[in-house]
Amino acid sequence: MPDIIFSNATANSIIRPQYFQFTGFSNLPHAKYYFILLCFVYAITLLGNSFVILIIYIDRRLHTPKYMAVFSLAVTDLGESTVLISNLFGIFVFNTEQIAYEACLINLFFVFFFSSVQSVMLTVLAYDRFVAICFPLRYHSILTNSSMAILITAGWLFNFLFMLIGLIFLTRLSFCKSTVIESYFCNYGPIYRLACNDNTPSITLVKVYIVLHLFLPMSVIGLSYAFILLALSKITSWEGRLKALKTCFSHLFLVSVFYGPLLMTFVAGVITPFHLNTRIITTSLSYAIPAMLNPIVYSLNTVEIKDFAGKMFRRSKLSIVVAFSK
């Protein structure tokens, strides 16, 4: 009899908890040291991406379609890392593993929103390399600042609406059993699995998300580089091929760092379930490392950024010398 009353209640009303609780780092050995490592990674991410954003904003030579996408990528790296590290501060600094229901939904929205925009920006940068190498004479007519602005805006807007739909689906779920999330942030999968009513829309959305933000971008990027290799095969000199290919190395490295861990986690999760600690470490690193490496890779491989940084360093050095001479 109580079971019948319980099922009727959940069928006619939505039960929302006041709090969710994280258990991601509860059983992880030496979790505090791992937290310090992630804080160190975040500090580099913060400095590096802020540096790239500042330089692209100030230096007019970088007001080009390619660096508009790099600027957008840096913003998403900064946003995603900040949202994730805030959860870790709550767990380790303020010693609380609880998060309010509304705050959890906001946290989830921004983590996956920024991550999905990252995927779009890497695809847009692949398109930039495709046009630059396959249509070099028409590059500036095909990829203008206006067309790139439209691509970037469409990417941000589409993912905002997509994640908003996902958020709406979650608000229709009832949590009448457990409210313990086996993660260190409000992860979509662990949350909808806690629901005691029909979570089919959320399951479907996750499958669509994986296709749109993992397999589709990888396919588009792979196809673009297939055309790039075909175009390079038509260049007679090895020097010309290598020179053109060098412009793709940074992007290829970032693509492998971003999609590689996600793909391995997905494939391994399908073949054999991960231990919780392994999944937490893999997930946290797959979010943290690409955001840290993106600005470093572009800074080291861009002449304009290195020149601008050198000028800033020389100016600051000169100002220090002048100040001490007085």
- The pLDDT tens digits of the residues spanning 4-43 come to 333 333 445 788 888 898 887 777 778 888 888 999 999 9
**Helix intervals (H) in the chain:** 2-12, 31-58, 65-92, 101-134, 139-142, 145-171, 188-192, 200-210, 216-233, 238-271, 276-300, 303-325
Q: Is residue 210 part of a domain?
A: yes
Residue 57 falls within a domain, yes or no?
A: yes
The mean pLDDT value for 248-267 works out to 83
Q: Over range 41-49, report the average pLDDT.
A: 93
Token digits of residue 167: 């958020």
Position 198 pLDDT exceeds 80:
yes
Q: Has residue 3 been placed in a domain?
A: no
Q: What average pLDDT does this structure show over 87-114? A: 87
Nearest to residue 311, comparing CAs of 132, 139, 81, 55? Answer: 55
**Residues 181 and 21: beta-carbon distance below 8 Å:** yes
Q: Which of 115-119, 227-231, 243-247 has the highest mean pLDDT?
A: 115-119
Please state the pTM of the whole predicted model. Answer: 0.86
234 vs 115, higher pLDDT: 115
In a domain, 5, yes or no: no
**Does residue 7 lie within any of the structural domains?**
no
CA–CA distance, 163 with 157 (Å, rounded to integer): 10
CA distance 137 to 131: 9
Three-state DSSP at 187 gives coil
**In sequence order, what DSSP letters do the residues of 41-82 get, joined into one string?**
HHHHHHHHHHHHHHHHHH-GGG-SHHHHHHHHHHHHHHHHHH
- Given pLDDT bands bounded at 50, 70 and 90, which one contains residue 323? low
Looking at the structure of the chain, the number of domains it has is 1
| Residue 1 domain-assigned (yes or no) | no
Whether 319 is in a domain gets the answer: yes
Query: Is 231 among the domain residues?
Result: yes
pLDDT tens for each residue of 122-163: 999 999 999 998 898 899 999 999 999 999 999 999 999 999
Phi, psi of 140, deg, nearest 5: -75, -20
- Domain span including residue 304: 12-325
Name the β-bridge partners of 181: 22
How far apart are alpha carbons 38 and 170 in whole angstroms?
Answer: 29
C-alpha dist (Å) from residue 172 to 15, 49, 110, 168: 9, 37, 19, 7
The confidence score (pLDDT) of residue 117 equals: 95
Query: Could you tell me the CATH number of the domain that includes residue 161?
Result: 1.20.1070.10
